[in-house]
Chain A
Amino acid sequence: EAGVAQSPRYKIIEKRQSVAFWCNPISGHATLYWYQQILGQGPKLLIQFQNNGVVDDSQLPKDRFSAERLKGVDSTLKIQPAKLEDSAVYLCASSLGRGVGELFFGEGSRLTVL
């Protein structure tokens, strides 16, 4: 079974530039999560989708971050304009979505903002 795919794995940009990350969850998984993980910290939930609807985006800095999940499958997370403090690993995870569910994570996209 294929895992959660993310791209790009690494991205370096200047502040005020924009960047987009892509995630393809495990087939059949209804729930998709985007987490931000700053070095030395635990993953912080940015946004959660159930199918193609947003369940929770309370921690998403909406003035610069946006995310969408097309047709309830792939998802894109965009940052525009980027700030230095956005340097982090962006992790995508998916789960079946019903009841108690373990999360399956991708390898993450490491962003460095200069």
Chain B
Amino acid sequence: SQKIEQNSEALNIQEGKTATLTCNYTNYSPAYLQWYRQDPGRGPVFLLLIRENEKEKRKERLKVTFDTTLKQSLFHITASQPADSATYLCAPHRPDGSGNTGKLIFGQGTTLQVKP
């Protein structure tokens, strides 16, 4: 069955450093991979999407890579700030055969704590 693994241990880093979060998947061939941010008591919020034919995607201080050979995505936050503290969820994804969005299965999330 499809399995998605993210670092289960919280990641603690100092402000200004680069945070790197990992998402590994097995028994799955996603065409896309989405990353979401979730703050305590709130619903997840979409951040970035990367396609299987894209090696890297950037948005402001965020960078995502997608390696379909390693079955892994890395999520980087450069120049991290305390406001970046949250849980980050990955969701490998493939639209269904009818062209509909299909279901999104999420990893368990990695909690990032940025200390001032």
Residues on A lying within 8 angstroms of B by beta carbon are 4, 30-31, 33, 35, 40-45, 48, 50, 55-56, 91, 93, 95-108
How many of chain B's residues have a CB under 8 angstroms from any CB in A?
29
Considering only CB atoms, which chain A residue lies closest to B89 in the complex? A42
Considering only CB atoms, which chain B residue lies closest to A110 in the complex? B41
Separation of A76 and B37 alpha carbons in the complex (Å): 25
* Contact of B101 with A by CB under 8 A: yes
Query: Is B99 touching A108 in the complex (CB atoms < 8 A)?
Result: no
Query: Is B101 touching A100 in the complex (CB atoms < 8 A)?
Result: yes
Further pairs besides A45-B104, A102-B49, A106-B43: 7, Cβ < 8 Å: A33-B104, A35-B106, A55-B103, A102-B34, A103-B36, A105-B43, A107-B41
Separation of A51 and B23 alpha carbons in the complex (Å): 31
Lowest 10 A-B CB distances belong to which pairs? A105-B43, A101-B101, A102-B46, A42-B106, A42-B108, A43-B106, A42-B109, A95-B101, A105-B44, A48-B103
Query: Is A96 touching B108 in the complex (CB atoms < 8 A)?
Result: no
Q: How many residue pairs between the two chains, A and B, have CB atoms under 8 Å in the bound complex?
A: 72
Separation of A35 and B104 alpha carbons in the complex (Å): 10
Separation of A95 and B32 alpha carbons in the complex (Å): 15
14 A-B pairs with CB atoms under 8 Å apart are: A33-B104, A41-B108, A42-B106, A45-B105, A98-B101, A99-B101, A100-B31, A100-B49, A100-B51, A100-B93, A106-B43, A107-B41, A107-B42, A108-B42
Q: How far is the CB of B38 from chain A (nearest CB, A)?
A: 9
Interface of B is mostly: loop
Chain A residues positioned under 8 Å from B45 (CB to CB): 105
* Binary interface encoding of chain B residues 1-16 relative to chain A, with 1 for a CB under 8 A from any of its CBs, else 0: 0001010000000000
Query: Is A31 touching B105 in the complex (CB atoms < 8 A)?
Result: no
Chain A residues positioned under 8 Å from B96 (CB to CB): 55
Q: How far is the CB of A49 from chain B (nearest CB, A)?
A: 11
Q: How far is the CB of B27 from chain A (nearest CB, A)?
A: 15
Chain A residues positioned under 8 Å from B100 (CB to CB): 30-31, 50, 55, 97-99
Q: How far is the CB of B48 from chain A (nearest CB, A)?
A: 9
